[in-house]
């Protein structure tokens, strides 16, 4: 099993959004990757440019960012050819690692556009190095640029940023600086393909919390009314924890609830509803055992939301 640290460069419609092909706003023009063994040691590299079929000149702004010569792209191979070779090179059981979450998304959109079969397993787990840097070195929420982190960690420079191969190399170097076990523990889940049925629903145990990814629903209401989505089983004993504060929302994006497990204590619930490419809705629910002081914070937050609405109405 190898770790595949990869990065993509892509282009967009040079004539503005109106003229773009709605099926593919971003067209991949380079795939770069570094292969690491179990010890995170580099064993191989992959680098190839891709001949565009949609956008044959660079968008003004991407030309500023990327250092690519559009002329050389015309001599490059097509996306299906390069992508096939890339996945062969990745081997049979790779763990994909990226800087941020957008690369796997755009890669799959390009695969779909070209009518290619998905080479990925379902569910697709991967390692987001940008997120894990924040978890280990910062607040867990910030998202730093690759250049910022490379400077912070005094990584050897000399190769340009915003090139698929060199960014893969930088990303792999950041990866090597992280605590390995923590990194492997906090893997991410790709949501390009989401569970289409009960059978495909995903339940994952992390160290201090559990994560559940539901099947899709027609709308938000259906999702939140679903018994399995709304349920709050304690992830240690599997028994239902009793709701003290039912699901509520403070910012329209996340729902929270507070419940109590007779054997394991306070349990915080959080649901984030997300939309699929087809505009359907699915739920990502995390359940976490917490202490009394954090339980109180949820009670306070519920209170704050109520007061905020009060103030808002009176003004």
Partner DNA sequence: CCAACTAAAAGCCGGACCAT
Partner DNA sequence: ATGGTCCGGCTTTTAGTTGG
| DSSP line for 42-102 | EEEEEEEEB--SS--S--HHHHHH----HHHHHTSBPHHHHHHHHHHHH-SS-EEEESSSH
The answer to whether the beta carbons of residues 54 and 21 sit under 8 Å apart is yes
Distance CA 31, CA 79 (A): 10
Residues in contact with DNA, counted by CB under 7 A, come to a total of: 51
Element (H, E) at 267: strand 265-275
| 253 lies in the site for DNA, by CB under 7 A | yes
**Phi/psi at 153 (5° precision):** -90, 5
Tokens 């023009």 sit on residue: 29
| 243 lies in the site for DNA, by CB under 7 A | no
Binding mask 256-295 for DNA (x = CB under 7 A): ----------------x-x---------------------
Please list every residue from 12 through 31 that binds DNA, using CB under 7 A: 12-13, 16-17, 20, 25-26
Tokens 């995390």 sit on residue: 286
Question: Least distance from C-beta 49 to DNA, angstroms?
Answer: 12
Distance CA 121, CA 295 (A): 38
Nearer to DNA, 130 or 172 (CB): 130
The rounded Cα 160 to chain-centroid distance in angstroms is 25
Distance CA 265, CA 259 (A): 8
Tokens read off for 114: 């070209």
| 8 lies in the site for DNA, by CB under 7 A | yes
Nearer to DNA, 198 or 313 (CB): 313
Question: Least distance from C-beta 39 to DNA, angstroms?
Answer: 26
Nearer to DNA, 163 or 210 (CB): 163
Nearer to DNA, 128 or 201 (CB): 128
Nearer to DNA, 4 or 13 (CB): 13
Chosen residue from 159, 240, 249, 291 binding DNA by CB under 7 A: 249
Nearer to DNA, 30 or 210 (CB): 30
Chosen residue from 4, 146, 169, 259 binding DNA by CB under 7 A: 146
Nearer to DNA, 88 or 249 (CB): 249
Q: What is the 3-state secondary structure of 172-201?
A: HHHHHHCCHHHHHHCCEECCCCCCCCHHHC
Tokens read off for 242: 């009793």
User: Can the peptide bond before residue 136 be classed as cis, meaning omega within 30 degrees of 0?
Assistant: no
Contact window for DNA (CB under 7 A) among 87-95, 176-184, 228-236, 245-253: 245-253
Please list every residue from 166 through 225 that binds DNA, using CB under 7 A: 167, 191, 220-221, 224
Interacting residues toward DNA by CB under 7 A: 7-10, 12-13, 16-17, 20, 25-26, 59-62, 65-66, 99-102, 105, 130, 141, 143-146, 148, 162, 167, 191, 220-221, 224, 248-249, 251-254, 272, 274, 305-306, 308-310, 312-314
């Amino acid at each position: 099993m190898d770790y595949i640290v990869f990065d993509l460069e892509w282009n967009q419609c040079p004539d503005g959004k109106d003229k773009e092909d709605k099926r593919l706003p971003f067209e991949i023009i380079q795939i770069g990757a570094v292969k690491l063994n179990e010890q995170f040691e580099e064993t191989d590299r992959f680098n190839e440019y891709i001949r565009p079929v949609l956008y044959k000149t660079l968008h003004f702004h991407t030309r500023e960012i990327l250092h690519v010569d559009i002329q050389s792209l015309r001599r490059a191979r097509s996306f299906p050819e390069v992508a096939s070779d890339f996945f062969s090179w990745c081997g049979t059981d790779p763990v994909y690692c990226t800087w941020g979450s957008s690369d796997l998304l755009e890669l799959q959109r390009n695969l779909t556009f070209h009518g290619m079969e998905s080479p990925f397993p379902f569910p697709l787990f991967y390692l987001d190095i940008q997120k894990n840097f924040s978890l280990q070195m910062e607040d867990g929420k910030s998202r730093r640029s690759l250049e910022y982190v490379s400077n912070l960690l005094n990584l050897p420079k000399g190769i340009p940023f915003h090139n698929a191969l060199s960014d893969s190399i930088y990303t792999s170097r950041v990866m090597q600086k992280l605590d390995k076990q923590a990194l492997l523990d906090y893997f991410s889940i790709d949501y390009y393909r989401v569970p289409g049925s009960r059978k495909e629903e995903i339940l994952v145990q992390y160290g201090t919390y559990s994560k559940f990814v539901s099947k899709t629903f027609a709308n938000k209401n259906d999702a939140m009314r679903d018994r399995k989505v709304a349920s709050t089983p304690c992830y240690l004993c599997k028994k239902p924890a009793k709701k003290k504060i039912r699901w509520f929302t403070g910012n329209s994006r996340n729902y929270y609830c507070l419940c109590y497990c007779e054997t394991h204590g306070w349990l915080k619930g959080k649901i984030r509803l997300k939309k699929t490419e087809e505009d359907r809705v699915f739920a990502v629910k995390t359940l976490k055992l917490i202490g009394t002081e954090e339980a109180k914070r949820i009670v306070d937050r519920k209170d704050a939301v109520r007061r905020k609405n009060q103030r808002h109405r009176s003004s």
